[in-house]
Amino acid sequence: MKFFIKKKNIFCSKSKFTTGFTLVELLITIVIFVMLTGVVLFNQNKFDSTILLKNLAYDIALTIRQAQTYGVNVKESPISGDFTSYGVYIKIEENKKIIFFSDLSSSKDGRFSDADTTCSPNDTSSECLQKYTLKRGNYISKLCVLDTDGSCLDVDELTINFVRPNPDAYIYADDDFFNRKKYAEIELSSSDNSSKISVVVTSVGQIYVKKQ
């Protein structure tokens, strides 16, 4: 007796459509990627600008604190050899420069007498000890002092001086060296004006950084 086994043929079916990206899908993906990359880079630049401006504000606050420390601790002037007061002078027209000075005048009025000096270390007639230049496009956008009505009055020049033995700040605005101010604010801005921050000094010697 013969037995016949019928072999069943198995065929693998193939889809007539091949999977993948179409040109339209590829273009949409590229556009989305470019948009996301742009957003990330824009926020990164803004973040970097904010950090740099914040660091600058603390550097300025430390400079004012240094003047306070020198004045209170009766540091001998490196220029005249006298024990004098120390201060910081800022002019809004030169909004990228801050001058650290010692008061060498005989009247000891606290004013900075040579604003256009180059701060040469060999110039014994200059009150300027060091000139700090703001970089990376950051600048001083506003100077103001406390007005009688409690508002912050804009000024062109600001002098913050410290005289021994008190840690109090002698704050003067413009050319008025007869009326001490109770409050001064130095507003700093980034190059694109996207970030602002302020350094605040009070007449009792408090120095701090205020966020906008």
The predicted-structure confidence for 138-165, as pLDDT tens digits, reads as follows 999 999 998 777 888 999 999 999 988 7
Amino acid 57: pLDDT: 93
CA distance 93 to 58: 22
Amino acid 32: pLDDT: 81
State which CATH number among 3.40.50.150, 3.55.40.10, 3.30.460.10, 3.40.50.300 fits the domain covering 42-211.
3.55.40.10
Q: How confident is the model at residue 51 (pLDDT cuts 50, 70, 90)?
A: confident
Greater confidence (191 vs 58) lies with: 58
Task: Decide if 159 contacts 87 (C-beta within 8 A).
Answer: yes
Tens digit of each residue's pLDDT (9 = 90 or more) over 68-85: 988 888 666 655 556 678
Q: How confident is the model at residue 166 (pLDDT cuts 50, 70, 90)?
A: confident
Please determine, for residue 52, whether its predicted confidence score (pLDDT) is greater than 90. no
Task: Point out the least confidently predicted range of 61-75, 86-100, 113-127, 187-201.
Answer: 113-127
Please determine, for residue 123, whether its predicted confidence score (pLDDT) is greater than 70. no
Contacts with 171 (C-beta within 8 Å, 6 or more apart), sequence order: 145, 158, 159, 160, 161, 180, 181, 182, 183, 184, 201, 203
Amino acid 191: pLDDT: 83
Of 12-16, 34-38, 106-110, highest mean pLDDT: 34-38
